Structure 1
């Protein structure tokens, strides 16, 4: 237990250090560009506060596809550093709190959704660090369309699982805290693996697209998890079942 706490503390310190570096690099780059060519720069870069709405799900089939009826509404929020390479290309990274999960609704009578049902809501939370290569097409000095993709890593930090049942009009609810194992990401094992615990760390690929105008960025994204979520599952390559799939709609505000 002590070892797991120390690992989590170390990861949090690493995340803070990474964000400090991101902010410094983005600030220096944006300042240099604005000083050099404030009127002609079509890719200013900078630091964004971002947040949005997630449609979270978990793959249910071997080919990685999902069932739409299990889609859960959640959220994302964080800080993004946009580091321009030139007028059309950027590298983006940051630190985000991501809501993952899924839902399940069972009705004894599909035509009666007011009574005799079981509803579950599974809402784990993760700290995510993406690393995206982004292409931007200028529309004017203040507007551009962007498209990008890249990998991400994430660390589970908490969340809740809730069950609501209705039997004969009597409603009962229960909730439990989502637990993660004490994995050491530098080893190939899942330390502290148990059937009731999720993997602490995961990786995936994301894609994003949208429009920037002045200091505002509006876009959509999709996170395709590559890691099975349960700590007792190690066959990531055998099939694509039980992996996170998350669509998001996001709004960003550039701070500098």
Structure 2
């Protein structure tokens, strides 16, 4: 299923760029990832985790170009961290979870032309779907000066998102493989360069297993800064 989704996404993007006014961007940049810690969606800033994203995005003008559809396919890091104390203290603890996803955003944006006519400011929003493909859980620290460190691969559940009412392959310590949410995006597109900021707001809990008051709170939140180069 993972291979089928990737082939379909790349094929759709390749087909889309054949039209004359469409632009294909090689895109990458910095992520500041986090997860919610309360039922109303609040996050703890101290848990923010630095990561990155890279991939392709297409700008598809609609009609006279006032609107554009911006689909893409990205390799992107999400996650969070928990840290107590400082690395210079006698006792210190840090745990990070950094799941890696293939993400397919589909944003609809409004274009506002700038003075040089080849540049524009854009702002918009849309949904995204993401599939977990890797990542690591890391723990490190010290207890009265004695250091410890461990690292393990993140395990994803094998739940099929087309099924309802049942989550296959769930278990303690597993993350849900599929993440769905919405994006807000804004930026500037020049002749061959694109600069943008994006906020991804996950709508599905990231822990596998049955719903409960604790793991229902954990949903992805990611701020991204991107640089795109037109191909």
Output the TM-score relative to the length of structure 1. Answer: 0.84
Shift of 1:240: 6.3
| Cα deviation 1:159-217 (Å, max 9, x = unaligned) | 00100011222221100100001111210121011011111111100111111111100
Give secondary structure in 1 for the equivalent of 2:46: helix
Which residue, out of 54, 58, 63, partners 1:77?
54
Q: For 1:96 and 1:89, locate their aligned partners in 2 and report how far apart those are by CA, in whole Å.
A: 22
Task: Please list every run of at least 4 consecutive aligned residues from structure 1 whose deviation after the TM superposition is greater than 6 angstroms.
Answer: none
Aligned to 2:162: 186
Q: Would the alpha carbon gap of residues 78 and 62 (structure 1) be closer, same or farther in structure 2, given more than 3 Å must change? A: same
| Cα deviation 1:122-175 (Å, max 9, x = unaligned) | 100111111110111000322110101000011111100100011222221100
Output the TM-score relative to the length of structure 2. Answer: 0.93
RMSD: 1.9
Aligned to 1:94: 72
Q: Would the alpha carbon gap of residues 63 and 80 (structure 1) be closer, same or farther in structure 2, given more than 3 Å must change? A: same
Q: Is the CA contact 1:83–1:90 (under 8 Å) kept in the aligned structure 2?
A: yes
Higher helix share: 1
Q: Is the CA contact 1:62–1:239 (under 8 Å) kept in the aligned structure 2?
A: no
Aligned to 2:151: 175
Alignment partner of 1:135 is 2:113: no
Larger radius of gyration: 1
| Gap runs ≥5 in structure 1 | 1-9, 34-44
Give secondary structure in 2 for the equivalent of 1:18: helix
Give secondary structure in 2 for the equivalent of 1:227: strand
| Gap runs ≥5 in structure 2 | none
Q: Is the CA contact 1:144–1:213 (under 8 Å) kept in the aligned structure 2?
A: yes
Give secondary structure in 1 for the equivalent of 2:10: helix
Which residue, out of 33, 36, 39, partners 1:56?
33
Higher strand share: 2
Give secondary structure in 2 for the equivalent of 1:244: strand
Q: For 1:207 and 1:92, locate their aligned partners in 2 and report how far apart those are by CA, in whole Å.
A: 12
Aligned to 2:218: 242
Shift of 1:11: 2.7
Q: Is the CA contact 2:207–2:215 (under 8 Å) kept in the aligned structure 1?
A: no
Shift of 1:113: 4.7
Aligned to 2:131: 155
